[in-house]
Amino acid sequence: MLDIITCKILRFIGSKFGRGSSLPGALVRKIWPKCMASIKLPDKVIAVTGSNGKTSTTAMICRIAEENGLKVVCNREGSNQIEGIATLLLCNADPISRKVDADVVILESDERFCQYTFKDVKPSHILITNLFRDQLTRNGHQEFVKGELQKGLPEGTTLILNANEPLSCSYGRERPDTVYYSVSAPELREHAGIEHAYDDGAYCPVCGKKMEYDYRIASHVGAFHCKKCGYRSPEAAHSVTKVTNGEFVLDGEWTIKPQIANEAYAQNIAAAFTVAVEAIGIEPEKAAEALDGMELENGRVVEFDIRGHHGRFMLCKHENSMAYNGAISTALNDPAEDITIVFIVDMLSRKYVANDMSWLWDIDFNRLANDKIKKVILSGGFAHDAAQRMLVGGVPEEKLIVEPDLDKMMECIVESAQGTIYTMTCFTDQYKFLNRLKNYEDKGRGEGGDR
């Protein structure tokens, strides 16, 4: 009882000082190391882990559950290691009965920390979105992460896996009750001839021989099969089967409007839909209804207007290629004839000091060597590293504007942007753009307001 009360008090005090949500759980676990094991959880405890798409997919699952009248407890603030999850569960538990007051608990979980978190808290289902190169300095290679995550998959927990991502999908080989989801829409398949910066799908993760793909969606995600050992994309329970007019069709039946109709959103939506239907037991029609038109509140995409140019801010992640490649695809698929790219790399992490820029070479910046891309504005402390990468990728030098100073970057945008602007950066650097944008943004568009 004291552990729960202490955690609630610490959380209350912390919130007054704007402190994060992991400290109370960390302190309580020091005094009562086994406090989480005796918490009574509802039958449905869904963990969401993987390299990419955790936060967005978690938000989608919460939305579906809540729209369908379920009470959800979720670590939406994003503290996804054991301390944050301890704070969440203790603060939502009754001190006497130790029961968490929820129909469903949804836990976004760091992929390397599942082995600690799920010792005491056993999820009924674990969704693994994918395993990708991500934060090399912190995580190492994705095959190392695969081994670490393997230690955090309890027996008896049902896995929900991406049938298109060979590395994380291979967890299901020994677990017959695994459920799979996929993206099979022909419209989202990569065109032949796209040259990727790297290929982590070249070899079979099971036998090490050459892997074949019927098609790819992004990077090593696609419909794969190995001729040597027979490992292949398993049959999916649910799938994004078609894209028409910017809308996704789920299982060939339900049409929904996504915030962005790109391959990353399609995978997240297929994942959230599958969790809702298979793990929570929501009717497919109701799950689709809740996803229709959903806009993520965490500012992943911000539309703006600056000096008559329309722009889209796309939140990506440094030290990771997937979101940037998705943002590049979205820009290239934009119907606008002229596109300006603004790319900001100033601070790699809020948590640790790093200046490893090898990840820049993992992003398909060569695709920006496209006639549609008129200007590429590079800013932040690593602007010159980015410029070097772009040049090697074949982006013509005359299109590059290198301006490390962030204030001057805004002037460069005003003076040089052509067509629609796509700004991409990480959450560590997002406000360096978004805060400056406020001074330049066109207001009252179309309503006769101040301009």
Helix (H, G, I), strand (E, B) or coil at 218: strand
Contacting positions for Zn ion (CB under 5 A): 204, 206-207, 226, 228-229, 231
Rounded distance between C-alpha atoms, residue 312 and residue 424, angstroms: 9
Work out how close the CB of 202 gets to Zn ion at its nearest, in angstroms, rounded to a whole number. 12
DSSP string, 376-434: EEEESTTHHHHHHHHHHTT--GGGEEEE--HHHHHHHHHHH--SEEEEEEETTTHHHHH
228 or 443: CB nearest Zn ion? 228
Q: Which is nearer to Zn ion, 207 or 306 (CB)?
A: 207
Classify burial at 297, counting beta carbons within 10 Å of its beta carbon; exposed 0-12, middle 13-18, buried 19 or more.
exposed
Least distance between Zn ion and beta carbon 142 (Å): 18
Residue 2 vs 229, nearer CB to Zn ion: 229
* Placement of tokens 């070899």 in the chain: 203
Q: For residues 98 and 225, which CB has a smaller minimum distance to Zn ion in the complex? A: 225
Q: How far is the CB of 224 from Zn ion (least distance, A)?
A: 10
How many helices (H) and strands (E) the chain has is answered by 14, 17
- Cα torsion 9, 13, 18, 22: sign: negative
Considering the complex, state which of residue 174 and residue 398 has its C-beta at the smaller distance from Zn ion: 174
CB of residue 204 to Zn ion, shortest distance in Å: 3
Closer to Zn ion at the Cβ: 4 or 131?
A: 131
Q: What is the distance between the alpha carbons of residues 376 and 68, in angstroms, rounded to a whole number?
A: 44
How far is 343 from 324, CA to CA, in rounded Å? 10
Min dist. Cβ of residue 231 to Zn ion (A): 5
Q: Pick the closer one to Zn ion by CB: 131 or 401.
A: 131
Residue 197 Cβ vs Zn ion, minimum distance, rounded to whole Å = 24
| Cβ-based nearer residue to Zn ion, 40 or 228 | 228
Whether 268 contacts 298, CB under 8 Å: no
DSSP structure string for 68-134: TT--EEE-TT---SHHHHHHHHHHTB-TTT-BB--SEEEEE--TTTHHHHHHHS--SEEEE-----B
Instruction: Kindly state the smallest distance separating residue 211's Cβ from Zn ion, in Å.
Output: 7
**Residue 392, Cβ neighbours under 10 Å: how many?**
12
The CB-of-159 to Zn ion minimum distance in angstroms stands at 20
Angle at 19 between CA 13 and CA 21, to 5 degrees: 90
